[in-house]
Amino acid sequence: MPLSANLLPPAPPAPAAAAARSGPVAPTVSEAATASSSLRAEFSLRESSEEAPPSAPIGPPAPERGSPESASSPAGSPPREPSAPVLPAKPSSSSSSEAATPPAAQEVQVQCMARTRIPTAYGPVFLHVYHNNLDGKEHLAIVSDPAQLDTPAAADTDFVPIRSHTLDARWHDGETAQERITRGAYVSRLSGHSALPAPVPLSPAPALADAPLVRIHSECFTGETLGSLRCDCGEQLDAALSLIAHSPGKRGIVLYLRQEGRGIGLLEKVRAYNLQDLGMDTVQANLALGRGEDERTYGVAAAMLRDLGVGSAGIRLLTNNPSKVHAMRKEGIEVPERVPMVPRDWQLRDAASHTHALPLTAPQTPDPAALGESGWDARSKGATIVGGGIVRSEELERYLRTKVERMGHMLDLPAAKRV
């Protein structure tokens, strides 16, 4: 049966004009970041992702400001989430000049809503779910700090755990131990026999003595979930967790920011891929869509790091991207060290350049010898991309070279030439 006219997809938008994008286009991260100040005044607890327009929110309803108790769900239904302390409201304004001004970094506030232990191929981590007053997205902090699983008495005396100040704070008078434990404000290992609520911390959050390894990672559905070989995002997530797990004390943080497609969102990234298939590189494709080459912002990331106590100790930042280093320093987060993330394939090729060139058709599966015993162990345990190995493809090679040659990423191109 032929497709009837009203089942046909809408005409594609003109690539060169973002303003001409047709159809109900939902806000992206960058649009959210520069949205009107009246929108910014809302501390929205709903998820207003690129895929879900604000008129159809997914997730828990926003609490009313000024009344933590009123954060519960409508009368008659059970509360959909515990009432959290509510961030101070920002002045609302409909002035267009104010609307065009991005919010100052110090205005960004975050609230860790919950934390839980996740056993991974690299050991246990604590997943923290954050809300913020800027973009309505649930950004994540993945904290590795296995000493926190010890009983407090067994912990080293100098031990300053990486913990969220806003999570551990008292949310309301009369808060119960069960409430604290349910949201993850507990110490030691939680079990059916052991449940110790965390003490309410002093203010401000205690500073860590050392600068932990930190990765500020941006969401990539295609790379991390599908294992796409167009990019190395899945490998980078895996590499960050692996590097932290192999560092002294295994302490570190991976911030997982919901800034899909360098901030343009999944929909636009998918369009950009089609333009890349026509011959554009990642930068050209973004620009042809009328977008910035990179629309990410890092104010929320900095606020999350401060909440985790690393504001003054600084961070050892796992990145090749100079913008992230600059952004952190601008936010007042010290970066005493940048730790490069060399693609595993390039590491192998550099090593191989001393012996022989690798064929381009080399298998995509990791080489146990190259990964080392621990890497191979991790791979065999990992069921998904995290715990995976080396990614390699012609498209990935183009993607990586564009980052170095067009985006200023601080990486040496590999010495080994393919045959």
Residue 168 or residue 235: which is nearer to ligand GTP going by CB? 235
Residue with smaller CB distance to ligand GTP, 327 or 358: 327
155 exposure class (CB count in 10 Å sphere: 0-12, 13-18, 19+): middle
Closest CA to 25 of 391, 246, 290: 290
The 123-132 sheet, strands edge to edge = 110-120, 123-132, 139-144, 252-257, 213-218, 316-318, 337-339
From 135, 294, 307, 345, the catalytic residue: 294
Tell which phi-psi region holds residue 126, choosing left (phi > 0), alpha (psi between -120 and 50) or beta: beta
Q: For this structure, is 296 an active site residue?
A: yes
**Least distance (Å) from ligand GTP to the CB of residue 411?**
8
Query: Residue 218 Cβ, how far from ligand GTP at the closest point, in Å?
Result: 3
Q: Is 145 a catalytic residue?
A: no
Q: Which is nearer to ligand GTP, 186 or 298 (CB)?
A: 298
Q: Where is 224: in which H helix or E strand? A: helix 221-224
HSE-CB at 263 with a 13 A cutoff on CA atoms is: 17
The full DSSP string for 28-74 is: -HHHHHTS-HHHHT----SB--TTS-TTS-BSSPPPPTT-GGGGSPS
Rounded Cα gap, residues 227 and 383, in angstroms: 12
In the set 296, 306, 344, 379, the catalytic residue is 296
CB of 288 to ligand GTP, least distance (A): 11
Q: How far is the CB of 296 from ligand GTP (least distance, A)?
A: 7
Considering the complex, state which of residue 45 and residue 134 has its C-beta at the smaller distance from ligand GTP. 134
CA distance 260 to 241: 19
**Residue with smaller CB distance to ligand GTP, 261 or 309:** 261
Rounded least distance, CB 367 to ligand GTP, Å: 22
Binding region for ligand GTP (CB under 6 A): 218-220, 231, 233, 236, 259-262, 264, 269, 272, 282, 286, 319-321, 324, 341, 403, 409
Using DSSP bridges, classify how beta strands 139-144 and 252-257 pair: parallel, antiparallel or unpaired: antiparallel
- Could you list the active site residues? 294, 296
